[in-house]
Amino acid sequence: MLKLYHHPFSPASRFARLMLSEHECKVEFVVERPWDRRADFMHMNPAGTVPLMTENDGPPLVGAPVIMEYLDETRGYAMADRRLMPNHPDARAEMRRLVDWFGHKFHDEVTGYFVHERIFKLEIPTSRGGGAPDSAILRAARTNIRHHLRYIGWLAGTRNWLAGDRITYADLAAAAELSAIDYLGEVPWDEDAHATAWYARVKSRPAFRSLLADKVPGLPASATYADLDF
């Protein structure tokens, strides 16, 4: 049995959930709030980050990219022509570059700021840095997202999917990051038609449904969040 420790609005956790759903895996979900630094969890992952997955109470699989490689190694073959990892080493490299781009660069410059300031700080105790969002940080993130959205639009406009002509883990990684801040209405969709059309295609996949049902207590989703024809 697979077990996923995650937070509903951690973009990397959402990436893991999308992968598991595309693989049609049965999963037990455990919500973990990383800022609690729960001892048993820190023991499994000294970095204290989500997502973390185990299979049959085996060793911890730490982080979305590690989970991605594990799922492909253990279940990729069974996906046949729906496999999310390209076959050619060059294409795999491009896909992995994008997974890293969205999980680190896009996250560090855009989504990480929004999610931390606008969602996590509602839950984090004031004594540990919770509280009102920092408007200077939100302003920076709102500037940065425009450049990133243009890059996503360029990728989606010159290829069919972000890493090539078929859907791969890279699309899930990007859509996971975007979905967390789409909830907040922080994606200026009208600025790039290619990016918007690509996101609508990913969002309409059955794997996406559980994400669209997530809610932050006291903070309603943006009007377009769960709308497949936004």
Rounded Cα distance, 168 and 57, in Å: 28
207 three-state secondary structure: helix
Q: With binding defined as CB under 8 A, does residue 84 bind a copy of itself?
A: no
Residues 110 and 118: beta-carbon distance below 8 Å: no
Tell me how far, at minimum, the Cβ of 185 lies from a copy of itself, in Å.
Answer: 27
C-beta closer to a copy of itself: residue 55 or 214: 55
Q: Identify which of 142, 155, 154 has the alpha carbon closest to the alpha carbon of residue 185.
A: 142
Tell me how far, at minimum, the Cβ of 81 lies from a copy of itself, in Å.
Answer: 20
Lookup: tokens for 52: 């973390």
Q: With binding defined as CB under 8 A, does residue 47 bind a copy of itself?
A: yes
Lookup: tokens for 106: 């896009």
24 φ/ψ sector (left φ>0, alpha ψ -120 to 50, else beta): left
Q: With binding defined as CB under 8 A, does residue 57 bind a copy of itself?
A: no
# binding residues, a copy of itself (CB under 8 A): 26
Contacts of 14 (CB under 8 A, 6+ apart): 8, 176, 177, 179, 180, 211
Residues 38 and 48: beta-carbon distance below 8 Å: no
User: In the set 100, 159, 201, 226, which binds a copy of itself (CB under 8 A)?
Assistant: 100
Q: With binding defined as CB under 8 A, does residue 66 bind a copy of itself?
A: yes
C-beta closer to a copy of itself: residue 46 or 217: 46
User: In the set 8, 63, 112, 153, which binds a copy of itself (CB under 8 A)?
Assistant: 63
C-beta closer to a copy of itself: residue 68 or 176: 68
User: In the set 5, 10, 11, 94, which binds a copy of itself (CB under 8 A)?
Assistant: 94
Q: With binding defined as CB under 8 A, does residue 109 bind a copy of itself?
A: no
Residues 186 and 115: beta-carbon distance below 8 Å: no
Question: Where along the sequence are the contacts to a copy of itself (CB under 8 A)?
Answer: 46-47, 58-63, 65-66, 69-70, 73-74, 89-90, 92-94, 96-97, 100-101, 104-105, 151
